[in-house]
Amino acid sequence: MDKTLKSSERKSISYAKWGYIFIIPFFIVYAIFTLYPQILTIYNSFFEYYRDGLNIIGPNFVGLGNYVKLFTPNLSGYIPIVKYTINTVILWFMGAVPQFIIAMLLALFFTSTRLNIKGQQFFKTVIYMPNLIMASAFSMLFFAMFSMVGPVNQIILSSGWADQPIDFLAMKITVRSLIALMNFLMWFGNTTILLMAGIQGIDESLFESARLDGSSSTQVFFHITMPLLMPIFIYVFITSMIGGIQMFDVPQVLTNGIGTPNNTSMTLIMYLNTFLGISKNYGMAGAVSVLLFIITAILSIFVFKTIRKK
């Protein structure tokens, strides 16, 4: 029949199909390696499903059983998930507060035309560096430094500050401080650079006119810099929080996965990790993941809101 028409219909010059072709690898891989596992994770959270020695228990549907279990106090009298969430928030907060204060100060120093800091590239390079260091190795390094026989204790002993070596890894306050210090060192450079970019994005003439109007530097900061920087500040702050919720490598390696002392440095992901180890407790791990997902989803909504405002 009318073959020519047919073939010309097929060979349209619309390029839409190429759009699909180009995004297909992404979506296939995403579906197989991320989306499907995510759905499986959520699905698992409603089942009793774990390994006991060589036996595999389940999967048995238990409804919200895993969630109930998650929020049931353990033998020591606390609810693990709540305690670990609070731990995580405390650990993040201890690092994030100095991180944001210092980063804000540095960003102001670097962008100040009055101070005119020399060697900015050098300072930025140095303070950003810890961000790229392997967190597990960094943590291992701290462990070696602060162990009973490490250099820090050697200094303390030789200088006579204490008679006995201090067991930094046995005390709640020191373990948390070390984790916070590492997180601070790893992230303040990154935050500085982001806030700097934010300040540089503000119209220079606003600062100039404020200065001519007689504002002091503090007034300029509170009346101009901070309000205009707020969206970026919030964005960086919440993404830091989302990162903080996922804190794992540093405390895991520093405390060898057990959150010494007394689980006071056990984070959410470390808790999740314990279920994925030998016990392969997919049910409980699924429930923890769903919780993690809900927390980050709420935080992400804030991120998108701040992006929208811009």
Residues 244-263 that bind other proteins (CB under 8 A): 245-246, 248-249, 252-253, 256-257
Out of 29, 68, 86, 170, the only residue in the binding site for other proteins (CB under 8 A) is 29
Q: Which stretch binds other proteins (CB under 8 A): 67-75, 83-91, 118-126, 206-214?
A: 118-126
Among 9, 63, 160, 164, interactor with other proteins by CB under 8 A = 9
d(CA 13, CA 117): 57
**Binding marks (x or -) toward other proteins, 199..238, rule CB under 8 A?**
---------------------------------x--xx--
Considering only residues 121, 164, 205, 218, which one is a binding residue for other proteins as defined by CB under 8 A? 121
Tokens linked to 158: 């030789």
Residues in 53-92 that interact with other proteins by CB under 8 A: none
> Which amino acid does the sequence have at 46?
F
Complete DSSP assignment for 114-179 = TT--S-HHHHHHHHHGGGGS-HHHHHHHHHHHHSTTSHHHHHHHHHTS-SS---GGG-HHHHHHHH
Among 21-29, 60-68, 206-214, 218-226, the segment contacting other proteins (CB under 8 A): 21-29
Question: Degrees (nearest 5) of the Cα angle 130, 135, 139?
Answer: 100
Which of 3, 25, 75, 213 binds other proteins (CB under 8 A)? It is: 25
Q: 179-213 as b/e, with b when 16 or more CB fall inside 10 Å?
A: bbebbbbbbbbbbbbbbbebbeebeeeebeebbee
183 to 202, contacts with other proteins by CB under 8 A? Answer: 185, 188-190, 193-194, 196-198
Smaller CB distance to other proteins: residue 82 or 105?
105
Question: How near is the Cβ of 44 to other proteins at its closest, in Å?
Answer: 6
Applying CB under 8 A, does 174 fall inside the site for other proteins?
A: no
Question: Do residues 84 and 76 touch, judged by C-beta distance below 8 A?
Answer: no
Q: Alpha-carbon Rg of the chain, whole angstroms?
A: 26
